[in-house]
Amino acid sequence: MSGVATDRHGDDPISAARRALVDERRQLTLDELAALAALPDEDVPALAEAAHAVRVAWCGDTVEIEGILSAKTGGCPEDCHFCSQSSRFETPVKALPLLSDDEVLRAARETAELGASEFCIVYAVRGPDERLMAHLERLVPLVRREVGINVAVSAGILTEDQAARLRGVGVHRYNHNLETARSFFGRVVTTHTWEERFETCRLVREHGMELCCGVLLGMGETDEQRIELLGQLREVDPAEVPVNFLDPRPGTPLADRPLVAAMEAIRWIALFRLALPGVILRYAGGREVTLGDLQEMGMTAGINALITGNYLTTLGRSPQEDIVMLKGLKMPIGTLSKVI
């Protein structure tokens, strides 16, 4: 631990954070989190160790596995600058038609065979139209009945009626990412607002679905904006937070951004756990290219869930590599819910 100030107990900032969260079950303030974010790189291993202790104390050692499927790829009218599926950018990802029920069922079965308890069906749309709603109202009960796996959906901005209907057909979790801080959002998306995303997150919870609300780090946001985002995530109160790292996509406005450095990624995984001690904190896109051989370290820095196999348009590592990693860490695979 570097030579930094101590608190009234004589603890350094990392020990103080650990005591607050593990012994006192007190949430850290955003100022406390900002102080941890400013620690030197040499303190990152200790920060990760504290985050792991918090994860085990709040959530146990179980890891939840999920598979995701793009059931409608490309052709999206929105301009999210990180996304290769936007029709506004010249990328190699072209629009494909909606997958058939059989194609989705096949992918769901394959996902279940990997040991996953959650299967998320994703659509590259601004929000569902009536045709997509009818598709979901047929498909979600079918997948649940035929495969026996929890079904999550990601289909963009919802109306109140749509949120109620999705809950009514058994959607377990709805994914809608804030992606980044409110103060930075307008730099990376101009076709809808951060507030629209926030409102959909609110509707998801109001109608009784679990909220999965992810982030994407490495788009050029500052550390202060990442702390701001942590405060905003607390406001939407998600059950799950997938942590994505930017994997710059050819043809998008963010194509030339550098990758997040591996130890910076570990630092922010730890900070997300310390800020959101009870959430399901999931490894998501970009972990392979960002962390490489440090993926195991992330599992002992606060992560307690992962997307296994491939992503929507890019490839992940083999699910067998994840299974070997979890066995080596002696972390059992199971289902999780948010700890209140």
Q: Which residues bind other proteins (CB under 8 A)?
A: 67-70, 73, 92-94, 96, 99, 103, 106-107, 110-111, 114, 116, 247, 250, 288-289, 292-293, 308-319, 321
Nearer to other proteins, 164 or 289 (CB): 289
Q: Are the CB atoms for 104 and 69 separated by under 8 Å?
A: yes
291 by DSSP, 3-state: which? helix
* Cα→Cα distances 237→120, 289, 337, Å: 20, 29, 13
Of the pair 106, 338, the CB lying nearest other proteins is at: 106
Closest CB 102 distance from other proteins, rounded Å? 13
The answer to whether 194 and 182 are in contact (CB under 8 A) is: yes
In the complex, the smallest distance separating the C-beta of residue 95 from other proteins, rounded to whole angstroms, is 9
Q: Nearest Cα to 230, choosing from 176, 290, 182, 295? A: 182
Q: Can you list the positions of beta strands (E) in the chain?
A: 64-72, 118-123, 150-154, 173-175, 210-212, 215-217, 240-245, 280-283, 305-307
- Looking at residue 62, its amino acid is T
CA 40/CA 205 separation, integer angstroms: 38
Tell me the closest approach of the beta carbon of residue 287 to other proteins, in angstroms.
11
Cβ nearer to other proteins, comparing 142 with 289: 289
Residue 104 CB, shortest distance to other proteins, in Å, is 10
CB of 293 to other proteins, least distance (A): 7
Tell me 191's DSSP state: S
Of 43 and 118, CB closest to other proteins: 118
- Our CA angle for 221, 227, 232, nearest 5°, is 100
Minimal distance in Å, beta carbon 55 to other proteins? 25
Closer of 57 and 114 to other proteins (Cβ): 114
Minimum CB distance to other proteins smaller for 167 or for 317: 317
